[in-house]
Amino acid sequence: MSQVNNYDAVPYESFPFAQSHPARMSGMAKLFGVPAPSLAKARVLELGCSFGGNLLPMAMQYPDAQFVGADLSQVQIDYANKIKGELNIRNITFRQANILDLAKESEQYDYIITHGVYSWIPTEVQSAMLELYGKQLSANGVGYISYNVYPGWKMREVVREMMLFHVGHLIDHTTKLAQARAILQYAGKLHANNQAAFGRLMAEEANLLMRCSDSYIYHEHLEPNNRPCYFHEFVAASAKHGLSYLGESSLSDMLPDRHGADLANTARQISDGNIIACEQYVDLLTNRAFRQTLLVRADRAPSVQRALSATSFRDLHISAQLKATAVEPPLQTTKTSQPTAHAVYADVHGRQINANQAHAKVMIDTMVAASPYTVPFAQIVDAVAAFAKTVGLQLDAAQYVSSELAVLLGQGVATLYGEAMARPAIDSAKIAPYAHWHAGRGNVVTNALHGLVQLTPEQALAVKSDTQPNAAQLAELMNLGLLV
């Protein structure tokens, strides 16, 4: 009962989680050679749906699919149904329900999503959740569960326990939050100049939490249940319910190479080809605190192929949110010299990617032309192959593109999708319906790729307006992924 009261009293903010979108889940499944259901008529369940910020945009995007959102909080479900009515969405159902009861049902779903729930429920409810996944994932279904992991959460537990001790005698939610922030502020100030390991970690964590929302602090740290685990423990618990580890929601989260060649080689060597052991070693050596894991039914495990090749990418779609940042000299296109170029691109975090070969520039430019929307892998290959033929370059375009894409994906610069999120034609494009509704409530909106976009006041006005934006505005909104 306390959980219901807590979530009713301090409603959890509800946003889209791009990494949980079924198109990205299916992309990872297909990358590893595992078929995934088409989204067009898929059945999707989200546990802990809050007021639908993650599920409602999907339902509008796929009107012939069926969506079910369940949450323990009646307040959240009532608000979700209110928004559903405002948007006149007919292919989604919101239910107030607990996981123990849902696990007794027998409905089948192609995609099951649970973000920010598993670590915050009692052990018997965690087991019921995995039982639900094991029973209710369809034959080719893919499940997503996010959760806190050790060792990264070891230090965070110290901060959580400090706050709980300080506010444990309090009942009023507002007072609890105020006092939790007060002890955080003091801890950050106390250790501001402390160069000892504990002091640096305490100050960093306290200052980080001070920038978080009330709902995050309350439900992440002040709930009675917060149960991090080691990755290998989660995989073992899943296996008891007929589930197998597919991977993480993003390829970059699975490649130890992002931490350097030495760590990657060591982790692979001491894990002796066991991917679970390798992932666990990397977690231990890098202090990982959070995972977003994809699961499939155990009988599909033999089909998983993690050795990547051009065939792995064949039916996938790629989004690379890059922008050219440097003036480029003309490409050399004579057959007597190796085509060269120098182009610099930056991602949304300011990280730079250099293209020092003409065919590398062609590959990236093909993705940039569609950005932030997706482009088929085959289209990228065709563009590189056509360029190579023009300049007389001997190149296996498919092998080259797949190899370079693996690097970009490992760096988190590119994103995989199992289905197209294609750039619409500008002359027929319109503002994504959910973004139009969302802009009426603030300057942060959900775009067509299920990500959050911060708008300027002028952009927000154009998005929420009932009149069609002008050509310049449409081009600007296209580049934000707000048109369909």
- Residue 424 resides in a domain: no
- Summarised one tens digit per residue, pLDDT across range 64-83 is 999 999 999 999 999 999 99
Q: What is the pLDDT of residue 332?
A: 54
Q: What is the pLDDT of residue 6?
A: 59
Residues 381 and 461 in one domain: no
Q: What is the pLDDT of residue 481?
A: 96
- Residue 423 resides in a domain: no
**pLDDT for 12 beyond 90:** no
- Residue 238 resides in a domain: yes
- The last residue of one of the domains, among 272, 303, 334, is 303
Residue with structure tokens 């931490």? 259
- The last residue of one of the domains, among 303, 323, 343, is 303
| CATH number of the CATH domain containing 390 | 3.90.930
**pLDDT for 4 beyond 50:** no
Mean pLDDT of 164-185: 91
Residues 145 and 171 in one domain: no
Q: What percent of the chain has pLDDT over 90?
A: 79
Residue 228 and residue 121 in contact, taking contact as beta carbons nearer than 8 Å: no
Residues 141 and 162 in one domain: no
- Summarised one tens digit per residue, pLDDT across range 102-116 is 999 999 999 999 999
**pLDDT for 336 beyond 80:** no
Residues 22 and 138 in one domain: yes
Exposure of 423 in the CB half-sphere (CA atoms within 13 A): 22
- Residue 458 resides in a domain: yes
Mean pLDDT of 356-379: 95
Residues 64 and 143 in one domain: yes
Residues 401 and 445 in one domain: no
- Summarised one tens digit per residue, pLDDT across range 181-214 is 999 999 999 999 988 988 888 898 889 899 988 8
Count of domains in the chain?
4
Q: What is the pLDDT of residue 327?
A: 60
Q: Looking at the DSSP assignment, which residues form a beta bridge with residue 454?
A: 444
CA dihedral 381, 385, 387, 393 (to 10 degrees): 130
**pLDDT for 240 beyond 90:** yes
- The last residue of one of the domains, among 276, 303, 330, is 303
- Residue 428 resides in a domain: no
Residues 106 and 245 in one domain: yes
The parent domain of residue 129 ranges over 2-150+228-303
Mean pLDDT of 218-222: 81
Can you give the pTM of this predicted structure?
A: 0.90
